Amino acid sequence: MGRKTPGLNTSSMADISFLLLTFFLMTSSINTDQGIARRLPPPLPPDQDTPEVRERNIFVVKINSKDRLLYNGEIGRLEDLKDRAKEFLGNPENKSNLPEKEVVDIPLLGSMEVSKGVISMQNDRGTSYDMYLQVQNELAAAINEMRNELATERFGRKYADITEPQREAIDQAIPIAISEAEPTKIGEKK
């Protein structure tokens, strides 16, 4: 009769594998700080109706499934979006086709004209995530530049370098007014 081959006891190998897997899962870090930083507005009181926004106060940015941009119904380029958004929100010449302004008394800044403009962003269900992020970055850059310019003008330093009360004042003067609509099918303009 042939010799019997001795076997290895591998029952503890499963335990060791499980412990190693657990160790690596527990000690590895997962980067969770990715995303788009947005502070949502506070909810309206139940007895208050949704405020009506006039058409001149809305800058509509649409992205279709082929990643093409439309600003207020006109074909636009990504490179021009930041400047168009700044012009819209700032309305430096008080044009009648750009947003209205409201005089607000802001601590540390005094009476200032604050834009009632809102950027309404809508994308198609087929819009690429990369294009969506590029548009978001351009809109955020427009607001950041406007805040930097006002902080430099009023406080002599960039927005990132001013104190928290000064930042709050700048935030009141130049609020983030970006509204996102639910993705739909956006038709192409020829």
| Whole-structure pTM value | 0.71
Domain borders along the chain are 57-180
Residue 187: per-residue pLDDT? 60
Is the pLDDT assigned to residue 40 strictly greater than 70?
Answer: no
DSSP states along 74-92: EEE-HHHHHHHHHHHHH-T
Q: To the nearest whole percent, how much of the chain has pLDDT over 70?
A: 89
The runs of H, that is alpha helices, within the chain are: 11-27, 78-90, 129-155, 164-173
How far apart CA 171 and CA 187 sit, in angstroms, is 36
Is the pLDDT assigned to residue 157 strictly greater than 60?
Answer: yes
How far apart CA 186 and CA 75 sit, in angstroms, is 13
Residue type present at position 186 = I
Is the CA virtual torsion 132, 136, 142, 145 positive or negative? negative
Angle between helix 78-90 and 129-155 (nearest 10): 40
